[in-house]
Structure 1
Amino acid sequence: MFFKADYFILEDTMLEDYFMEVEDGVIVGFSKNEPGDYTYLGEFVAPGLVDTHIHGYHGKDIMKAEEGALNVISKGLLECGVTSFLPTTLTDSKEKTDAALKRVAEEYKDVEGAKVRGIFLEGPFFTEKYKGAQNPEHMSDPKIDYLKDWIEISDGLVNKIAIAPERDGVEDFIKKANAMGVRVALGHSDATFDQAVAAVDAGANIFVHTFNAMSGLHHREPGMVGAAMATDAISELICDGHHVNPNAAGILMNAKGRDKIALITDCMSAGGMADGDYLLGDFPVIVKEGTARLKDGGALAGSILKLKEAIKNVVDWEIADIFEAIQMASLVPAKSVGIDNVCGKLHEGYAADFIVFDYDLDLKATYLNGQEVYRK
């Protein structure tokens, strides 16, 4: 099979008027030589997007451990341009977390849409002051025995966990988690700059939805945001225009470099659904005017952002170009959790998971293993 596009967006360049060869669902290579028979895809072809922080979609929530819900989410994400993702949990009891992980482990191999590339545990080792839409009743200092259990229960899928740097025992936990192949992210935290930097020095490599639910940048105490700007750790960003002011997002990108920014959605179950009443974990949420907010207090409760929209937003806001935006939603998040060996780029030997979009950055089609699985 041969495909042609005006531009193929690779990890380090954009190829103009090239052909891509795919055999048995795998990319064979790229060439200027016109084959006898080919399919013209459109203006831009980019790697399938990689969402490493997403709680649900199409009315389904990972924490509910509902039979079949993972497949609903997986198929729904194809309309977002996402071909790889990390089902994400919330802070809750160990029993409920166990159940959610067990369900994912039972079903992830059979999903029909975006591929499950791991699991992100968002909590429960957070700080109550910046709880956001997480339940403080279940927050505690990090417990390495819990993580060991979760790795086993999840069939080894857990590859990312978020903690607050000021909790007791953090540095030892980070080192042991890394030794078990789990990336450690920092978030929902009132940590000082020094505490956050110490956690990065110990091996943490991601800041969770930077700016949101963390101590801010102050000229006498740079806090978590300052540490995110000053270290090489990758910073997640929710670029829906509600969580972070576009100018603040641009400042972070300029401070760190766009190769250290991972666009994520933090999407909850209301993604892809109509406005109305929903739940995030056990918390009632109202969705309207492009946001999901807790009914009690009005705090932002995840998002209803589609990752394809984040790409369009950062380009429209003029804080990134098309090439940079694509990398921030594919290669960078894949690198952040060590899955860039299987996804996040168009490359020889990789599965032909890719998306097609036009010059207005509107998604036209999504492909898995060289087969069209969504068309607008």
Structure 2
Amino acid sequence: MTYYIKADSFFYPYEECRGGYLAVTDGVFGDWTAQVPADAEILDYTGYSIAPGLVDTHIHGFGGADVMDNSVEAIETISAGLPSTGVTSYLPTTLTSTFEILNEVCEKVAQAKHAKGAKIQGLYFEGPYFTEEFKGAQNPAYMGDPSIEQFETWQASAQGLISKIAIAPERNGVSEFVRHVTDQGIVVALGHSNATFSQAQDAVYAGASVWVHAYNGMRGLNHREPGMVGAVYDIPNTYAELICDGHHVNPKACEILIKQKSHDHVALITDCMRAGGMPEGDYMLGDFPVIVENGTARLKDNTASLAGSILKLYQGLKNVADWGIASRVEAVRMASLIPAISCKIDDKCGQIKSGRDADFIVLTKDLDLVATYIDGQKVYQV
């Protein structure tokens, strides 16, 4: 069955096509066209814009559920809730924990791989190979040096679903580990780290290519030691995750990062925890109590320390456009195609393209979310 979407504009990676129609056949995108057959079925979104479904490559939970709940039901809850944020593809993200618990989580995510809602495009291990100085809301009791043997066990339990892992560059054995997993096509991210510029550079030379929530959880820039932030700025052909909720990073710092990296190397993420889409109050992030209020999630015993976010990804997209640091097209791209490219899943999601799954969102002129479609079917409406 074929229908045609009519809208004021359509967001392609590097242009916003004005007017016309976009074909969808059996849940798959067709071509954009200026004219349609007289008897064509029309999905009329006059007054609105159509953008690709958003891709969140760093997200721990949503709707009261967390990946570390270690249950199929939790993953199903997250997948079902994410279309309300404009997200149609994502990487469920773990926290630092014991080897055994992480192994069980791998099994549960693999079992929930085809949950209804936003599509699971891989599994992201945020830890446990971090260092304590910039632990954030990660438990240092479970941190250690990277182990190829551990990783292989987790990957077997995940049925090959682990597609991204974050580590601290100063840990022992990093280069060997990075080379081993990147040879398997796994993306290595660097963060929660007190590494020097040189240590970060060595990890990139070994194959690491992503920076975990840039600025947060890493050694800052200093004129005598450029540190992790200096490495984020300076090392080319790497991708910086960025949380644009206005709390994790000052908008001016976001702008500086984008100037250093370019819009094509900054991937908007949420780092959202279970309180996303939920009322303010008390929650847990891994082992730690969290208080959610005034738009932030903070560790309860240290209210200066952020503990993930409650950001919805379409809001991050809207923020960078409203802050004047990205055009509409750039903002959409930073929340869809660039995250997908950074995690090597751009063959599955991240853009409107003929032959791809018809995962798309409907936006107002102000970039507010109106509706979300997956495989050409509406799954969420405001």
1:77-112 deviations in Å (ceiling 9; x for gaps): 000000000000000001111111111111111x11
- Letter of the 2:118 counterpart: A
Report the counterpart of residue 360 of structure 2 in structure 1. 354
- Asked if 1:268 is matched to 2:273, the reply is yes
Aligned to 1:56: 61
Tell me the CA shift for residue 150 of structure 1.
1.2
2:291 corresponds to: 286
Counterpart amino acid of residue 12 in structure 1: Y
Deviation at 1:159, TM superposition (A): 0.2
Could you say which residue in structure 1 is the equivalent of 2:17? 15
Instruction: After TM superposition, give the deviation of residue 18 of structure 1 in Å.
Output: 2.0
Aligned position for 2:245: 240
Deviation at 1:67, TM superposition (A): 3.4
1:168-192 deviation line (CA, Å, top 9, x unaligned): 1111111101112210000000000
Q: Does residue 191 of structure 2 align to residue 187 of structure 1?
A: yes
Residues 1:249 and 2:254 aligned together: yes
Q: What code does the residue aligned with 1:368 have?
A: I
Segment of structure 1 superposing worse, 271-280 or 25-34 = 25-34
Q: Write the letter of the residue equivalent to 1:24.
A: D
Give the superposition deviation at 1:143: 0.5
Q: Structure 1 stretch 273-282 or stretch 38-47: which is displaced more?
A: 38-47
Q: Does the CA contact (< 8 Å) of 2:85 and 2:314 recur in 1?
A: yes
Which sits farther off after the overlay, 189-198 or 117-126? Answer: 189-198
Shift of 1:12: 2.4
| 2:74 aligned partner | 69
Alignment of 1:331-342 (within 5 A): 331-342=337-348
State the 1:48 CA deviation: 0.1
Query: 1:108 aligns to what SS in structure 2?
Result: coil
Deviations 1:191-237 (A, max 9, x none): 00111111111110100000001000111111101100111210000
Partner of 1:26: 28
The within-5 A match list for 1:71-150 is 71-109=76-114, 111-150=115-154
Unmatched 5+ residue regions in structure 1?
Answer: none
1:159 aligned to 2:163?
yes
* Separation of aligned partners in 2, 1:99 and 1:275: 30
Aligned to 1:259: 264
Residue 66 of structure 1 and its aligned partner are, at CA, apart by 2.3
| Other-structure match for 2:202 | 198
- Give the match for residue 380 of structure 2: 374
Q: Percent identity?
A: 53
The residue type equivalent to 2:298 in the other structure is R
Q: CA deviation at 1:34?
A: 2.9
Q: Deviating runs (4+, > 3 A) in structure 1?
A: none
1:265 Cα deviation after fit: 0.3
**Pairwise CA RMSD:** 0.8
- Aligned residue for 1:71, secondary structure, equals helix
- The answer (yes or no) to whether the contact 1:2–1:35 under 8 Å persists in 2 is no
| Cα distance in 2 between the residues matched to 1:150 and 1:18 | 48
The one of 309, 312, 318 equivalent to 1:312 is: 318
CA distance in 2, matches of 1:192, 1:8: 43
Q: Secondary structure at the match of 2:29?
A: strand
Bigger shift: residues 360-369 or 36-45: 36-45
Distance 1:327 1:225 in 2: 23
Q: Which residue of 1 aligns with 2:220?
A: 216
d(CA) in 1 for partners of 2:362, 2:245: 21
**1:155 CA drift (Å):** 1.1
Alignment length (residue pairs): 375
Deviating more after overlay: 80-89 vs 31-40 = 31-40
What is residue 303 of structure 1 aligned with on the other side? 309
Taking structure 2 as the reference length, what is the TM-score of the superposition?
0.97
User: TM-score scaled by structure 1?
Assistant: 0.98
Distance 1:108 1:69 in 2: 12
Q: Per-residue deviation at 1:44?
A: 1.1
Superimposed CA distance per residue, residues 228-277 of structure 1 (whole angstroms, 9 cap, x where no aligned partner): 01112100000000000000000000111000000000000010000000
Counterparts of 2:32 and 2:356 in 1: how far apart (Å)? Answer: 13
Q: In structure 2, list runs of 5 or more residues that go unmatched.
A: none
CA distance in 2: counterparts of 1:303 and 1:313, whole angstroms: 15
